[in-house]
Structure 1
Amino acid sequence: MDSTLEPLARSLRQAPVVDRDGYEYFVHGVTDGIPPVEPAVLSAVADGISERVDLEAVDKIVAPEAMGIHHGTALSIATDVPLVVVRKRSYGFPEEVAVHQETSYGESELYLNGVDAGDRVLLVDDVLSSGGTIEAVCDALEAVEAELVDIVVVLRRVDVDHADVSRDVTSLLDVRVRDGKVEILE
């Protein structure tokens, strides 16, 4: 494993796992904001993404509400690339694009504002489980004719079906839940 990501890996090994209607869900600052996310973890995430993506080719970072926001923010501060938040609430702007998201544990509407045709964007999110959020945001980006440079998630769950994802996704760490604990795959 990349030593840059050690603060993230160390914190994940201590994450509790809860049952959400038969879905083993780990609770971690990266994915839930509980417990608090340590600055070293956010720095590790920003550094890990910076090492994997050509940010010179990116005009805007796009992060879905809510748990993509802190990763997009940390990366934006580290790189001076502007951040666009895909919101769960409509503002009714004329150029707003609404898309429906379905995840392993719920569904809702998402609303994209602030991305224009031709913008080169990096999509950043916390975790890839079903892929519903990523597909919904990508649909919105396609609708405005933005250029998707890359998709990066902090964590990829390898123990769930990513049936909803039809695109390449880069992850900082691949994880699974086994016997009530988070395991990091090397």
Structure 2
Amino acid sequence: MDQLRQSLLDAPIIEKGDYEYFVHPISDGVPMLEPGLLREIVIRIIRKANIEDVDKIVTPAAMGIHISTAVSLMTDIPLVVIRKREYGLDGEVALSQQTGYSDNEMYINDVTEGDRVLVLDDVLSTGGTMKAVLGALDGIGADVADVVAVIKKAGPNKLDDSPYEVKTLINVTVEDGEVVIVDEHGDG
């Protein structure tokens, strides 16, 4: 039950400018995602998250989709994917996503006032996407039961001074070309 830890320690590191970046099946879709790793992550999310009376799982596209789909299958909780494409459906809500990499518009459909939601994502890094998602859900009037990210990159993020607590499964940093485990059991 420690494939996540080992897969991070084995993750290739690439350099983008001055930034060292780990490449991982959960955050990048490469290297190949082994079913056992996905299963371990899903089990750990289900054990850690408050899923009681949750109406919907909400995840931003794209890398939260595989994790959230697996959690949905295991819990029978419907899945809402926040998309980068506008569909113009009734009740669609736009949000501005600002990350360390880009600024984008994203769109939420099928979440309404009073819905109890579990927010899932692959990685918490700058916190920009998660802050935008949580702000939009708050604006809709949804009840956020819990927020879980599989991997947290250590360091400050945009949620530090917010009322939201993000539970994580493992916290890491990259130092001298290697992934370093900061907290083996994550937050929360």
Contact 2:50 2:146 in 1 (8 A): no
Aligned to 1:178: 175
Distance 2:159 2:74 in 1: 31
Distance 1:48 1:21 in 2: 34
Aligned to 1:43: 39
Distance 2:36 2:51 in 1: 21
1:162 equivalent to 2:157? Answer yes
Distance 1:131 1:163 in 2: 5
Aligned to 2:30: 34
Distance 1:56 1:104 in 2: 33
3-state DSSP of counterpart to 1:136 = helix
Q: Which runs of 4+ in 1 moved over 6 A?
A: none
Q: What are the residue-to-residue correspondences of 1:52-63 with 2, within 5 Å?
A: 52-63=48-59
One-letter code of the match for 1:144? I
Q: What are the residue-to-residue correspondences of 1:58-69 with 2, within 5 Å?
A: 58-69=54-65
Find 1:11's aligned residue among 2, 7, 10.
7
After TM superposition, give the deviation of residue 19 of structure 1 in Å.
2.0
Aligned to 1:129: 125
After TM superposition, give the deviation of residue 170 of structure 1 in Å.
0.3
One-letter code of the match for 1:122? L
3-state DSSP of counterpart to 2:112 = coil
- CA deviation string 1:87-137 (max 9, x = no partner): 011101131111111111112111000111111000000011000010111
Gaps of 5+ in 1: none
Contact 1:97 1:143 in 2 (8 A): no
Q: What are the residue-to-residue correspondences of 1:100-115 with 2, within 5 Å?
A: 100-115=96-111
How many residue pairs align between the two structures?
181
Percent pairwise identity: 47
After TM superposition, give the deviation of residue 164 of structure 1 in Å.
4.8
Distance 1:173 1:164 in 2: 17
TM-score (ref. length: structure 1):
0.93
Distance 2:142 2:87 in 1: 20
CA-based RMSD: 1.2
TM-score (ref. length: structure 2):
0.92
